[in-house]
Amino acid sequence: MDFRVGFGNDIHKLVDAGSLIIGGVKISFDKGTQAHSDGDVLAHAVCDALLGALALKDIGSHFPDTDNQYKDICSLHLLEKVMVLVNTQGFRVNNIDCTVVLEKPKLASYIDEICQNLASILAIDVNKVSVKAKTNEKLGDIGNGNAIAAFCVVSLLHNDC
């Protein structure tokens, strides 16, 4: 059986402009992420986890922030492109477990929609998508409300399994 595991993470500075998008969902908040794309830290962490599971480097090597075709791009589109690579390699997603770390706002009312978005792109049942939100207990840049981070673990199965 060919089984793979990947880990991904991302962090972005929060600024007083732009939008806060997490898992493709626009979050009502007075700050947004500073990024070349739409700054969706969760989608970026999922992309890195998938790429890492297949030893295909990282999101920056596939979608560099020096390439204007990715300026302000929806990160779910990047995730769709990564899924093409996963499928081309003969794999499918088994499940993902993610954590978003930010002090504010609370994400509880957004989690179901975020999970639905990810499940749809990853072509898995929503019950195989875990997204949790945590604070940083007021410690560091995240705890001071200046940054947001996301972490993701993914398991992949080869299509022959």
Q: What's the pLDDT tens digit per position in 83-92?
A: 999 999 999 9
Percent helix, strand, coil in the chain (nearest 5)? Answer: 35, 30, 35
- Bridge partners of 87? none
Q: Measured between alpha carbons, how far is 29 from 149 in angstroms, rounded to an integer?
A: 16
pLDDT at 1 over 80: no
Contact of 51 with 6, CB cutoff 8 Å: yes
Q: Give the CATH H-level superfamily of domain 3-158.
A: 2-C-methyl-D-erythritol 2,4-cyclodiphosphate synthase (3.30.1330.50)
Domains of the chain by residue range = 3-158
Q: What's the pLDDT tens digit per position in 125-148?
A: 999 999 999 999 999 999 999 999
Whole-number pLDDT of residue 143:
97
Whole-number pLDDT of residue 30:
96
| The two three-digit tokens of residue 156, written as one number | 């992949």
pTM beyond 0.85, yes or no: yes
Reported confidence tier of residue 151, pLDDT bands at 50, 70, 90:
very high
Whole-number pLDDT of residue 161:
79
Closest CA to 57 of 94, 100, 6: 6
Q: Measured between alpha carbons, how far is 55 from 159 in angstroms, rounded to an integer?
A: 17
Mean of the per-residue pLDDT values for the chain? Answer: 96
- Bridge partners of 22? 25
Whole-number pLDDT of residue 102:
98
